[in-house]
Amino acid sequence: MLFPYYIVASSFFRVNKFTLNILAFAVPLFIGLMLIEFLVATHKKLAYFNLHNTIANVSVGIAERLCDILVTAGFFFVYDYVQKHYGLLNIKPGLLLWILLLLCTDFLWYWYHRLAHEINVLWAVHVVHHQSEDFNYSVSARITVFQAFVRTGFWIILPLIGFPASMITTMLLIHGIYPFFIHTRLIGKLGILEYILVTPSHHRVHHASNDKYLDKNYGDVFIIWDKLFGTFQKEEEEPVYGLTKPLNTYSFLWQHFHFYIELWLGMKAQKGFVNKMKVLFGRPEHFDASLREEAEAIFHIKQNTEQITRPLNRYVIWQMIILLTSLFVFILFEQYFPISLKIFFTISVVLTLINCGAIMEQKHWIFHVELLRFTALLLIPLFYNHYYIDLVAMVLLTAVVVILPLKYYSSLESRYLQIVYKTVRP
């Protein structure tokens, strides 16, 4: 979900001498709603949550939120520039025009969403949202920053019509909140609302891999577009969630990039520019499914079927708790951080997310990522321009990156894996 620049700029408030970003409170709010859904499902003895799937879902959302902080302001200026220089009209806010904007936004979303299921190159940015074999509030977090850039190509129609950037970004925020609440199995059908709005029942169909449910119910707020363009399907049989060919990995990187690699392999196998473009812009259902195995073989992607121990689960859970707390603080005090620190913080977080996915699959290369993460964290204090902090950071950085790895790398790696996995590297 994108928090637009206009909203972000107007969401800061002062507490004593600090200026804080109120949007940071969206993090505990949504996590709280996820916990409530989990507790209700547990009370009803409904197995709607899988720990590792939930961690994978939230990991994608954390990365998206951090990346949005770096790029969101740019979208506002794009909309503003296009409207002022190329807008057909000069629309001013008004009740009827807000309603019109809502309908236009939802209409554009429908076509973005539909084309993202019908064109391979667009499916590559959207497939991450459909990988989870669970269906709960945590799945709503499976949005990548790549989608934000692709969507902008559709939203750009709004400033061309003449809607001002402030209206567009405000509407995108409101429009982006609603889908969170339709990612649940706890809410049944909603009577007359089923004929107007996209409900949890409609969206369960959309996330299902049952043959009769494929490529249905693309709407985001209103279901009228699906009924108008022939893509509506009501919920009848129990949905089976996830991809038609499950990904079977918790790898943070593989979840994001596997289909790009499969596309590249598919295009590489074709001769001639036209045939390559047919692969790139073809339909996902016509795509060669065997390319998944080829890609997995190249990158040695194989999920470890060995059961994850309780201490290992606790280790990953605590990393996620620290990450979510850090994300809250980072957004809250965002105004005080230079862009260089934001970038290094984002890098350290992404490395942690890569590590968490690898730990859940008990990969032995995680020590290399751990060293990179620690290095990125040690670089952060250097941006505060304080002599003693810089000195300590440089000493630690030299010790961690240069001296210790050269002399004790193998023994450190073996000890780390022994602590984490309770085993010595084979």
pLDDT in tens, 155-175: 999 999 999 999 998 898 889
Residue 13: the pLDDT is: 57
Model confidence pLDDT, tens digit, residues 238-251: 999 999 999 888 99
Q: Could you tell me the pLDDT band of residue 18, with boundaries at 50, 70 and 90? A: low
The residues, ordered by sequence, that sit 6+ positions from 89 with a Cβ below 8 Å of its Cβ are: 161, 162
Contact between residue 197 and residue 226 where contact means Cβ atoms under 8 Å apart: no
Which of 65-74, 206-215, 354-363 has the least mean pLDDT? Answer: 65-74
Whether residue 384 is predicted with pLDDT greater than 80 in this model: the reply is no
Phi/psi class of residue 14: alpha, beta or left (left: φ > 0; alpha: ψ in -120 to 50)? beta
Tokens 């507790």 sit at which residue?
39
Report the chain's mean pLDDT, rounded to a whole number.
86
Q: Could you tell me the pLDDT band of residue 386, with boundaries at 50, 70 and 90? A: low
Model confidence pLDDT, tens digit, residues 82-110: 999 999 999 999 999 999 999 999 999 99
**Other beta carbons less than 10 A from residue 303's beta carbon:** 15
Classify residue 308 by its DSSP letter: P
Residue 84: the pLDDT is: 95
Q: Provide the residue ranges of all domains of the chain, joining segments of one domain with +.
A: 5-90+107-189, 252-298, 310-421
Residue 109 exposure: Cα atoms within 13 Å on the Cβ side? 24
Count Cβ atoms within 10 A of the Cβ of residue 313 and give its class: 0-12 exposed, 13-18 middle, 19 or more buried: middle
**Which 3 state secondary structure label does DSSP give 15?**
strand
Residue 317: the pLDDT is: 92
Distance CA 323, CA 91 (A): 42
CA-only gyration radius of the chain, Å: 23
H or E segment at 174? helix 165-177
Sign of the torsion angle spanned by Cα atoms 43, 201, 242, 253: negative
Contact between residue 283 and residue 117 where contact means Cβ atoms under 8 Å apart: no
pTM > 0.85: yes or no: yes
* DSSP alpha helix (H) spans, 333-386: 339-360, 366-379
Q: How open is the CA angle 88-91-94, to the nearest 5 degrees?
A: 155
Distance CA 409, CA 315 (A): 23
Please, what's the b/e burial string for 396-424 (b: 16 or more CB within 10 A of its CB; e: otherwise)? ebeebbeeeeeeeeeebbbebbeebbeee
Q: Which residue has the higher pLDDT, 72 or 230?
A: 230
Distance CA 277, CA 386 (A): 54
Distance CA 199, CA 226 (A): 13
Mean pLDDT value of segment 376-389: 60
Model confidence pLDDT, tens digit, residues 217-238: 999 999 999 999 999 999 999 9
Contact between residue 397 and residue 363 where contact means Cβ atoms under 8 Å apart: no
DSSP string, 247-289: -----HHHHHHHHHHHHHHHHHTS-SHHHHHHHHTS-GGGS-T
Note the Cα 19 to chain centre separation in Å.
28
Q: Are strands 18-21 and 12-15 parallel, antiparallel or unpaired?
A: antiparallel
H or E segment at 76? helix 51-86
Q: Could you tell me the pLDDT band of residue 3, with boundaries at 50, 70 and 90? A: very low
Angle between helices 310-332 and 26-43 (to 10 degrees): 150
Residue 17: the pLDDT is: 66
Helix count and strand count (H, E) for the chain: 18, 2
**Other beta carbons less than 10 A from residue 288's beta carbon:** 12
Phi/psi class of residue 402: alpha, beta or left (left: φ > 0; alpha: ψ in -120 to 50)? alpha
Q: Could you tell me the pLDDT band of residue 16, with boundaries at 50, 70 and 90? A: low
Residue at 221: amino acid letter: V
Residue at 415: amino acid letter: R
C-alpha separations of 388 from 99, 381, 393, 395, 400 in Å: 56, 10, 8, 11, 18
